[in-house]
Amino acid sequence: RTSTAACYSPLHTSLRKAWPHGIFRAKRTSRGADEVPGQGSPGAEMSSESKSNSDLHKLWYILLKEKNMLLTMEEAAKQEAELFPNPERIDKVKESMANLEAVVRERNEAYFLLETGETGEQPWVPKENLYGFVCNFALKERLMPRKSNPKGYFRLWRDKDLDEFTRLYGEKMQKQKEFRYAMARRRVTQILKRFPDVDRALLQERFPDVDIDKVEKALKERVYVAFEQQTT
């Protein structure tokens, strides 16, 4: 004798909620897990170098569309308080776009070097900004030279308050630099005390700002002075 209770599925009264952009949602299996496409590998530069400029242009917009789709899915998942499957796909798409940009930039640089002898990149010049910090500013074509601008748009605002600020900021940066050097030197001293046979090349690579020979000499002098005090 068989029971007919197992032949019927239970009744569900809750409403099924769809994402705002349901067309982007991954399909679900019978177990309820998301069928996420394979992770794959981001577009490598070696495979992109053999493609033409038109193919790279089309591929760029395909990746841009996929990036926007993934960002839309991620935002929809946050609104629905659900987990976004495989969030690393966004990083891989960004990496692929960066690889494409590197290939295109390399081609443009090679072309401009052959034709004009220059890289073709936008030139940058270090200048002081409004707060007295030296930053890289892009050179652009303007209607009026900098010195002939009557409105003073490019004039640097240097007064006693700004000079005081830059002085205090430089003093703070110098103290932080000295503190980091002191901590690195102390760490090297501890390592040499505990491991006298440590590889000096690796230690110098780990702490490039510290003079290893000088620290060793200071340690030997300290040991010699302690020995002299004990004998006397």
Q: What is the pLDDT of residues 109-152, one digit of tens each?
A: 999 999 998 888 888 899 887 788 888 988 888 787 777 776 65
Q: For residue 166, which amino acid is it?
A: T
Q: How many Cα atoms are found within 13 Å in the side-chain-facing hemisphere of 90?
A: 12
DSSP, residue by residue, 20-68: TTGGGSPPB-TTS-B-PPP---PPPHHHHHTS-HHHHHHHHHHHHHHHH
Secondary structure of 93-139 in HEC code, one letter for each residue: HHHHHHHHHHHHHHHHHHHHHHHCCCCCCCCEEEEECCCCCEEEEEC
* In a domain? residue 2: no
Q: For residue 159, which amino acid is it?
A: D
If asked whether residues 175 and 206 sit together in one domain, one would say: yes
In whole angstroms, give the CA distance from residue 153 to residue 122.
Answer: 22
Q: What is the DSSP letter of 8?
A: S
* In a domain? residue 12: no
Show which of 71, 105, 121 is a domain's final residue: 121
* In a domain? residue 146: yes
Q: What's the number of domains the chain is made of?
A: 3
Show which of 135, 156, 177 is a domain's final residue: 156
Most confident of 19-23, 92-96, 146-150: 92-96
If asked whether residues 139 and 197 sit together in one domain, one would say: no
* In a domain? residue 225: yes
If asked whether residues 85 and 144 sit together in one domain, one would say: no
Report the C-alpha dihedral over residues 44, 49, 54, 56, rounded to 10 degrees. Answer: 20
If asked whether residues 116 and 136 sit together in one domain, one would say: no
If asked whether residues 135 and 150 sit together in one domain, one would say: yes
In whole angstroms, give the CA distance from residue 230 to residue 37.
Answer: 73
* In a domain? residue 29: no
Q: Which domain holds residue 174?
A: 159-231
Confidence at residue 148, expressed as pLDDT on a 0 to 100 scale: 75
pTM, 2 dp? 0.48
Lowest average pLDDT, out of 51-60, 89-98, 153-162, goes to 153-162
Nearest to 163 by CA among 175, 153, 171, 173: 171
If asked whether residues 106 and 152 sit together in one domain, one would say: no
* In a domain? residue 136: yes
* In a domain? residue 22: no
Distance, C-alpha 163 to centroid of its chain: 33
The angle subtended at Cα 105 by Cα 103 and Cα 109, nearest 5°, is 120
Show which of 108, 135, 156 is a domain's final residue: 156
Q: What is the pLDDT of residues 160-218, one digit of tens each?
A: 888 898 899 999 999 999 999 999 999 999 999 999 898 999 999 999 999 999 998 88
If asked whether residues 56 and 101 sit together in one domain, one would say: yes
